[in-house]
A and B are shown apart, each in its own frame.
Chain A
Amino acid sequence: KAGVTQTPRYLIKTRGQQVTLSCSPISGHRSVSWYQQTPGQGLQFLFEYFSETQRNKGNFPGRFSGRQFSNSRSEMNVSTLELGDSALYLCASSLALAGFGEQFFGPGTRLTVL
């Protein structure tokens, strides 16, 4: 089985721009969770999608949003980028809601905001 894939792997943007990141879960997995990883804050939960519905949300501003499609692929959008948004963005998929199954992580998208 192919693992979780994330595209693009690297992105460079400037302040004020917006960005869309994509995550393809493992085939058959219906839950996708997103995390932000930074050296200072570690790994922080952004949100989880299951069956095209947001089920849980972390403490991030409204500039961070996401969606999930009928094939379980998920996108994350960050608008009006700030320097502090520079981070590794990880997505993880699981068969059921993340609270009931193991999460498998993708390689991440490295976002740099200049």
Chain B
Amino acid sequence: AQRVTQPEKLLSVFKGAPVELKCNYSYSGSPELFWYVQYSRQRLQLLLRHISRESIKGFTADLNKGETSFHLKKPFAQEEDSAMYYCALRVGSRLTFGEGTQLTVNP
């Protein structure tokens, strides 16, 4: 069965510092991975997906099949990045989410 692990429940950084949110997955097939974000009092929304290899709001994520990881990175965190971040693995039509990391960017 597939599984997604986000080892940090809470992560706190200062504005302008680099940030990395960790995500590891276990799945025997070819994974399709996503990062979702939920800002305070807003609905869950897609941030980025690994197949598009895009950068959204300065965030990037690289799929490392050898390490089974899909860490989310941003070189210079902003206060508006404070939110809950979920890593998700899609198999067929089912999304399996990690438990989430609450990122706080301090001024």
Contacts and interface: CB of A to CB of B under 8 A. Distances in A.
A102 B46 contact: yes
B94 A103 contact: no
A108 B42 CA distance: 10
B95 A33 contact: yes
Interface residues of B, number: 17
Contacts, number: 53
B93 A105 contact: no
Contact of B93 (A4, A42, A90, A97): A97
Size bracket, chain A contacts:
20 to 34
Interface of A: 3-4, 31, 33, 35, 41-45, 48, 50, 55-56, 58, 90, 92, 97-100, 102-108
19 contacts: A3-B43, A42-B86, A42-B99, A43-B88, A43-B95, A44-B97, A48-B93, A48-B94, A50-B93, A56-B92, A56-B93, A98-B94, A99-B91, A99-B93, A100-B93, A103-B46, A103-B95, A105-B43, A106-B43
Interface of B: 43-46, 86, 88, 90-100
